[in-house]
A and B are shown apart, each in its own frame.
Chain A
Amino acid sequence: MNSTAVTIIILIAFIAIFVVISLRARQHNASTIDDYVVGGRSMNTALLLMSMGATYFSTWTLLGSFGVYYREGIWFAGFTTWAIIQGSVFIWLFGTRIWYIGKRFNFITPGQMVEHYYSSPTLRLLFSIVGIIALVPVMLIQVTGSARALESLTGGAIPYAVGVIVTSVVVGFIVLWAGFRGTAWADAFMGTFFATVLVFTAVFIIGKAGGWSFLQNVAEVEPQLLTNKGNPVAMLELWVGLSFGAWALPHMWQKFYSAHSAKVLGKVAMFTPFWNSWMMACIPLVIGLSANIPGLVPGAADNSDAILPLIFAEYAPILGSFVVAGILAAAISTINSQLLSSASLVAEDVWRRFFDKEMSEKRLRLVNKVVIGLITSIVLVLALSPSGAGYLVPVASLGFSLGLQLVPTALGMLYFRWITPAGALTGMVAGVITLFVSAATDFTLFFGPGISAIIVNALLVAVVSRFTQAAPVNGDNDYHALFAQLYGKQPTQKVTAHAIN
Chain B
Amino acid sequence: MLTGMNRKLFWLVLILALIGSWLPYFNILNELVWVGPLSLPLAWVLTCNIVLTLCAIALYPLYFKPLSERIDAFERKEGGHE
Contact = CB atoms under 8 A, between A and B. Distances in A.
Contact of B52 (A81, A216, A262, A492): A81
A78 B23 CA distance: 10
Interface string A262-296: 11011101101110011000100000000000000
A88 B25 contact: no
Contact of B67 (A75, A96, A226, A231): A96
A274 B68 contact: no
Given A92-B63, A266-B64, A492-B74, A227 B56 contact: no
B13 interface: no
A486 B71 CA distance: 6
A219 B32 contact: yes
Interface in B43-65: 45-46, 48-49, 52-53, 55-57, 59-60, 63-65
A47 interface: no
Contacts of B34: 216
Interface string A225-245: 011101110010000000000
Chain A interface residue bracket vs B: 35 or more
Contacts of A267: 60, 64
B56 A81 contact: no
A199 interface: no
B67 to A, nearest CB: 5
Given A74-B39, A92-B59, A488-B70, A231 B65 contact: no
25 contacts: A77-B41, A78-B45, A85-B18, A87-B56, A89-B14, A92-B64, A96-B64, A227-B24, A228-B25, A231-B25, A232-B22, A235-B22, A235-B25, A266-B59, A266-B60, A266-B64, A266-B67, A267-B60, A270-B57, A273-B49, A273-B53, A273-B56, A277-B53, A282-B46, A492-B74
Given A74-B39, A81-B48, A84-B56, A486 B64 contact: no
Contacts of B45: 74, 77-78, 80-81
B67 A486 contact: yes
B71 A269 contact: no
Interface residues of B, number: 42
A228 B63 contact: no
A108 B28 CA distance: 47
B52 A215 contact: no
Nearest to A206: B37
* Shortest Cβ-Cβ A-B pairs, 5 listed: A266-B64, A88-B56, A228-B24, A232-B25, A226-B39
B59 A227 contact: no
Contacts of B38: 215
A213 interface: yes
A100 interface: yes
Interface string A306-318: 0000000000000
A263 B53 contact: no
A277 B32 contact: no
A97 B77 CA distance: 20
A265 B56 CA distance: 12
Given A78-B21, A80-B49, A486-B71, 15 more contacts: A74-B39, A74-B42, A78-B25, A89-B14, A89-B56, A92-B64, A96-B67, A228-B41, A231-B25, A232-B25, A262-B71, A263-B65, A269-B59, A270-B57, A494-B81
A212 B32 CA distance: 17
A394 interface: no
A226 B66 CA distance: 43
Nearest to A80: B49
A37 to B, nearest CB: 23
Contact of B26 (A81, A215, A232, A262): A232
Nearest to A224: B32
A75 B40 CA distance: 13
A262 B42 contact: no
A472 interface: no
Contact of A215 (B30, B42, B74): B42
A159 to B, nearest CB: 39
Contacts of B40: 227
Nearest to A263: B68
Nearest to B21: A81
